Amino acid sequence: MIDDLRQVSRLLVKLEESLPVTVTLTAQAAVALHGQSSGVRAPTKYQVRVIHYLGHLGGIICGLDDRSGEGRGEFLVSITDLEFDRRQPIACDVANYQGQRRERLRHLASGECLADGCPGQTAECES
In sequence order, which residues have a C-beta less than 8 Å from that of residue 78 and are 6 or more positions away?
Answer: 58, 59, 60, 61, 62
Task: Say if pTM beats, i.e. exceeds, 0.85.
Answer: no
pLDDT given for residue 125 in this prediction: 28
Q: CA-to-CA distance for 82 and 106, rounded, in angstroms?
A: 18
pLDDT value of position 126: 32
What is the enclosing helix (H) or strand (E) of 15? helix 5-18
Residues of the chain with pLDDT under 50: 114-115, 121-127
Q: What is the pLDDT of residue 122?
A: 41
Provide the pLDDT for residue 85.
93
Q: Phi and psi at residue 113, in whole multiples of 5°? A: -75, 135
In this structure, which amino acid lies at residue 86?
Answer: R
- What is the model's pLDDT at position 17? 96
The CA distance from 116 to 101, in Å, is 17
Would you state the pLDDT for residue 58?
92
**What is the SS3 assignment for 10?**
helix
